[in-house]
Amino acid sequence: MVEFFAAGTRSELCELLAGFVAAKEKATRAARNIRRKYGEGLSREEYIRLANTLRSAVVPRRKPDRRPKPTITAAYEDWKAGMRGAELYRRHIPGWAVTAAITASVNRRNCWMRSEAGTSGREETLEKGKAASDESRQEPEPGNVPSFL
């Protein structure tokens, strides 16, 4: 649409529109031929895949003004070369080492706090449960022993 307004003169605009209309007619004709030839033989999903194939052949992969960022391209090349984990992050993410160290210390502290608080609480709960189950278990009296024992 921007090209239409940037064209300038009316005749240039008409030429652009005429080219678009001609391309649209050719695409429609091709679609009709495919439908006529393969009609009932293709499912809806296959027609959708066919339309996507046509679209990918006609529409460029990205906007022409978009250039890949060199930092991301370099990181991707290193990843393809086999670099993984901390080495890749340290090389391509600024300040990653500092952030990783802070995160690790926070995780250690949280783990320590959970283990300290959780151990005593769990032990008390287990002890209460054992005591309750021991109280509920009573030895049967000699005269009340079931016959299957």
pLDDT digits (tens, 9 = 90+) for 29-48: 988 998 888 878 888 899 89
Q: Token digits for 100? A: 């990783």
| Residue 97 included in any domain | yes
Same domain, 48 and 109: no
The predicted-structure confidence for 84-110, as pLDDT tens digits, reads as follows: 888 888 888 888 888 888 888 887 777
pTM value is 0.35
Q: What is the pLDDT of residues 47-70, one digit of tens each?
A: 899 889 888 888 877 777 778 888
In SS3 terms, the chain reads as CHHHHHCCCHHHHHHHHHHHHHHHHHHHHHHHHHHHHHHHHCCHHHHHHHHHHHHHHHCCCCCCCCCCCHHHHHHHHHHHCCCCHHHHHHHHCCCHHHHHHHHHHHHHHHHHHHHHHHHHHHHHHHHHHHHHHHHHCCCCCHHHCCCCC
Looking at 51, 66, 81, the residue that finishes a domain is 66
Q: How many domains are there within the chain? A: 2
Of 53 and 4, the structure prediction assigns the larger pLDDT to: 53
* Domain extent for 11: 1-66
Max mean pLDDT among 16-20, 22-26, 121-125 falls in 22-26
50 lies in the same domain as 78:
no
